[in-house]
Chain A
Amino acid sequence: MVNVLTTALATSHIEFYSGWALLGILFLIGLAFGIGNVVLSHTLGPARKGLVKDSTYESGVDPLGSTRERFNVRFYLVAMIFLVFDVEVLFIIPWLYVFNNQRHPWVVLPLGALFASILIFTLILLVAYVYAWGKGVFQWD
């Protein structure tokens, strides 16, 4: 905190606040995304009333009763698909770091090859996605 204050005093006010403005913009985008989704689903989505619809939402599970219930097996399928796309982030974040720091001594590939590598990576993920789609994994019923 002290560091931030001393830098703020050392630099001009505009520069200091423009640095924080990015964070503010990110926050605003996040807020707009959240609210926008709620509003859009309210206005565009079909509105049905019923016993199930009016009950408390608890991740698709009956909110009352024993907690030691068995889950529907489809949750496991979704979990597996989730893992595929969860782990890809592990590779994309280091890639982003390398892509942004071309002068780092560890970076040995030229820019084009780096970009091609992530394209191939996404292509392979896409194969998994198309396969899962073709197998009907995303159909709940």
Chain B
Amino acid sequence: MMITHATSSFSDPVLVRYLALGAVLFAIGLVGFMARRNMIMIFLSTEIMFQGVAINLIAFSRYYHNADGQSFVIFLLTVAAAEASLALGLVVMLFRHRQTLNVDAWSDMQG
């Protein structure tokens, strides 16, 4: 009875397309995060993951006809912007130090 409600949101044919898009974006970002060696690319990969989450939230927001998901996305974008400016600052600081953005140049500590 109540379960039909819960499963129905994920079996709605239109909604599922958006959810698939969100999941694919998230997976692309995750793979990029693992595979890339350039710091800016790694950072962009995490941004792609955030956008996957944002698409999920917007899709659910539309499905349920409430604004919760949309307001979540506004806050998500704000935090993503804060992290972006932090990443820029970090990258500039690191580049000044070693003249490269390859993460492998920053692996002195092991063990």
Contacts and interface: CB of A to CB of B under 8 A. Distances in A.
B is bound to A:
yes
A20 interface: no
Contacts of B96: 73
Given A91-B74, A94-B74, A83 B92 contact: no
Contacts of B82: 83, 87
Interface stretch (B31-39, B43-51, B83-91): B83-91
Interface in B86-103: 88-89, 92, 96
Interface string B63-87: 0000100010010011001101100
Bin chain A's interface residue count.
10 to 19
Given A94-B71, A106-B67, A79 B88 contact: yes
B25 to A, nearest CB: 20
B interface majority secondary structure: helix
A54 interface: no
Contacts of B88: 76, 79-80
A86 interface: yes
Contacts of A87: 77-78, 81-82
Nearest to A84: B85
